[in-house]
Amino acid sequence: MKKIHLLILKSFIRPFLSTFIIVMFVLLMLFLFKYIDDLIGKGFAWYVILELMMYSSATNVAMALPLSVLLSTIMTYGSLGENYELVAIKAAGISLSRAMYPMIIIVSILSISAFIFSDYMLPVANLKYFSLLYDVRQQRSATLLPEGVFSNSFPGYTIRVEKKGADGQGLYGVMIYQKDQASENTSVLFAKEGRMYRTPGDKYLVLKLKDGVRYEESAGDVGYNSRQRLMRERFKDMEQKFDLSGFKLSRTDENEFKSAFQMMNIKQLREYKKTTQHAIDSAVQASYHIMTAYLRYFNIAKKPTVKTAAPGTVNKTLTISEQLAAVSNGSSEARSIQGLIKDNDARNHDNAQNIRKSLVEYQKKYTLSAVCLVLFLIGAPLGAIIRKGGLGLPVVVSVAFFLIYYIISTIGEKSVKDGNVSPILGMWISIIILTPIGLFLSYKAITDSAIFDADSYKKFFRRIFRRAEA
């Protein structure tokens, strides 16, 4: 029995590791394709891009792990069935459910590890990833002076280079437009050629220009009918220095991103829900006490004496000015109450929406573990039924089931955030739907049902047609 368990475990570990690496690689390529424009041409050090890719891979575990479990279990039991090893196991008197015991233990360990990862490591990885990605996307391009383009890379300057040399350092047809906001001076510089280089430490970019002319306009003397001044200066050699401090990657304080729900663990999400709900209740109580001052009937005795009067007789006792004052006071109080209700409603709506978002992240900590077990419950019997190993049919079947899970969970998550369903139902709906499917497939695999046998379906429909003809 131990040899059979070791055989199944060895058959599972290799495809699980390979499929997990492949899925992580595909998700990492999708990340690079999405943010390729934000990474290329900004002069990042290799370790910055490597760090960003590492954090991105950590955030993709929540999607890669369930798919890897599903695909590897289908491949494992499909390969055992294709090589008639499951037949030999059953012939030895060992049922399929008993042969699945070691796999259930392994997948349970993976589920517990996924929960620990999602609660302790994933919030830190999300914090590092989103903060670094924000700084990377805010970084300006390191292509300082592209050919034939008016570049605004340096504040206060617009630079155009007609052509660059083969080494990338030579410049031809240089134009530098400078606008001084303080003195309202405008200068334009033209040079036939030049070279550029960086100072040690990349602090400044220096342009050595040759054979040029500089025009500068400045305001004249202050007074009536003042005239502009134009100064022209020719030069053989000139150096122009630009500050490069704005092109270095500056890191934002990570504490500014900690308020996002993806960066919180279970304890922090519970505390946020508690404090936010307390704020909502406190706001409702405060609004109630404020509104009671405007509502006169709260001050009426419990058993007031009611006197009836004919319609229209009450207003006749008041003068026109008193009637107008009463109407004005009533409308003013109504507007005050309406404004108070609108402000409180908007505030409470935002707080309630934030609570729903926090509950979504809270439930995700548990659903990641549960979905690994459910997809294993689908993959193991499905592989035993289809009896196909490798990366052919198992990939197609696993991707189809994973898409069903992903689409249902996405719809449920959106419904929770919109407030249409409860957080528990919305986040667990995909697992609730897939669990009966897994139990049904397990029953069919244990009873050796030919669920994917085309001949059995043909016989079934032939019987129906014969009965219909009779």
With 80 as the cut, is the pLDDT of residue 2 above it? no
Question: In which band, very low, low, confident or very high, does the pLDDT at 183 lie, cut at 50, 70 and 90?
Answer: low
pLDDT in tens, 341-375: 787 777 788 888 888 888 998 998 899 889 989 98
What are the tens digits of pLDDT across the range 234-291? 888 888 888 777 666 667 777 778 888 888 889 988 898 888 888 888 877 777 777 6
Query: How many other C-beta atoms can be found within 10 angstroms of the C-beta atom of residue 260?
Result: 15
pLDDT tens-digit map of 215-233: 887 766 655 555 677 788 8
CA–CA distance, 276 with 257 (Å, rounded to integer): 18
Phi-psi region of 390 (alpha: psi -120 to 50; beta: other; left: phi over 0): left
If one compares 226 and 21, the residue with the highest pLDDT of the two is 21
Mean pLDDT, to the nearest integer, of 12-33? 88
Q: Residue 429 has what pLDDT?
A: 92
Segment among 136-145, 373-382, 418-427 with least mean pLDDT: 136-145
Q: So what's the pLDDT on residue 248?
A: 66
Banded pLDDT at 432 (limits 50, 70, 90)? very high
Per-residue pLDDT, 407: 92
Any residues with CB less than 8 A from the CB of 202 and at least 6 apart, and which? 244, 247, 248
Binning pLDDT at 50, 70 and 90, where does residue 179 land? Answer: confident
Torsion angle, alpha carbons of 344, 347, 352, 353, to 10: 140
* pLDDT bracket for residue 408 (50, 70, 90): very high
Q: What is the pLDDT, as a whole number, of residue 299?
A: 46
Does residue 298 register a pLDDT over 50? no
Rounded CA separation 52/39 (Å) = 10
Question: Which among 139, 143, 153, 157 is positioned nearest to 248, based on CA atoms?
Answer: 139
| DSSP letter for each residue of 241-253 | EEE-GGGS-PPPP
**Does pTM surpass 0.85?**
no
Q: What does the pLDDT read at residue 257?
A: 80
**Distance between CA atoms of residues 345 and 263, nearest Å:** 28
Q: What pLDDT shows up at residue 433?
A: 92
Q: How far apart are CA 136 and CA 31, in angstroms?
A: 14
**Residue 312 has what pLDDT?**
47
Element holding 43 (H helix, E strand): none
Taking the mean position of all CA atoms in its chain, how far away is CA 235?
55
- Cα(11)–Cα(384) distance, integer angstroms: 13
- pLDDT at residue 300 greater than cutoff 80: no
What integer best gives the mean pLDDT of the chain?
79
With cut-offs at 50, 70 and 90, classify the pLDDT of residue 304: very low
d(CA 446, CA 287): 62
First vs last Cα of the chain: how many Å apart? Answer: 53
Which one of 179-183, 188-192, 465-469 scores highest in mean pLDDT? Answer: 188-192
Collect all residues with Cβ–Cβ distance below 8 Å to 136 and sequence separation of at least 6: 35, 38, 39, 42, 44, 48, 52, 249
Q: Which helix (H) or strand (E) holds 25?
A: helix 2-34
Q: Which residue has the higher pLDDT, 52 or 89?
A: 52
Q: Which residue has the higher pLDDT, 162 or 86?
A: 162
| Confidence check: pLDDT of 131 > 60 | yes
pLDDT band (50, 70, 90) for residue 293: low
Q: Would you tell me how many other CB atoms lie within 10 Å of the CB of residue 115?
A: 18
SS3 at position 318: coil
Q: Cβ atoms within 10 A of the Cβ of 466, count? A: 9
